């Protein structure tokens, strides 16, 4: 029987309004996935590069 690895992965997530409010100050880590949970861009995921802001 194969070994099982039970891991929970949770993406950073927030409303479109909250992402917009931090767009010029929030810098996601390299490879960090950030998900929009509502609005016109619901389900949109952006991945961080460690240097660019959300906006």
Domain ranges of the chain: 12-47
- At 49 the pLDDT is 96
Residues 16, 41: contact at Cβ < 8 Å? yes
What's the rounded Cα separation, in Å, for the pair 8 and 20?
Answer: 27
CA torsion, points 51, 55, 21, 13, in degrees to nearest 10? -80
Name the average pLDDT for the chain.
Answer: 92
Q: Give the model confidence (pLDDT) of 8-19 as tens digits.
A: 889 999 999 999
Res. 2: pLDDT tops 90: no
Output the pTM of the full model: 0.74
Res. 29: pLDDT tops 90: yes
Q: Which residues contact 16 (CB under 8 A, 6 or more apart)?
A: 36, 37, 38, 39, 40, 41, 42
Choice between 55 and 49, residue whose per-residue pLDDT is larger? 49
């Amino acid at each position: 029987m194969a070994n099982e690895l039970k891991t929970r992965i949770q993406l950073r997530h927030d409303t479109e309004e909250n992402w917009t409010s931090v767009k010029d100050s929030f810098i996601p880590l390299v490879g960090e996935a950030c998900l929009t949970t509502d609005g016109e861009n619901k389900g949109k995921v952006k991945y961080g590069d460690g240097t660019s802001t959300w906006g």
